[in-house]
Amino acid sequence: MKTELEKCMSGEPFNGGRDPKIVEMILRTRRLLARFNATDYADHERRQALLRIHRHPFHRRARADGLGLEGRR
pLDDT digits 0-9 by tens, 3-42: 888 898 889 998 988 889 889 888 888 998 899 999 999 9
Q: What is the pTM of this model?
A: 0.61
Q: What is the pLDDT of residues 34-72, one digit of tens each?
A: 999 999 999 999 998 888 876 655 555 544 444 444 444
Tell me how far CA of residue 18 lies from CA of 13, 21, 28, 41, in angstroms: 13, 9, 16, 36
Residue 59 confidence (pLDDT): 55
What letter would DSSP give residue 16? G
Residue 52 confidence (pLDDT): 82
Q: In terms of C-beta density within 10 A (0-12 exposed, 13-18 middle, 19 or more buried), how is residue 25 classed?
A: middle
Note the Cα 15 to chain centre separation in Å. Answer: 17
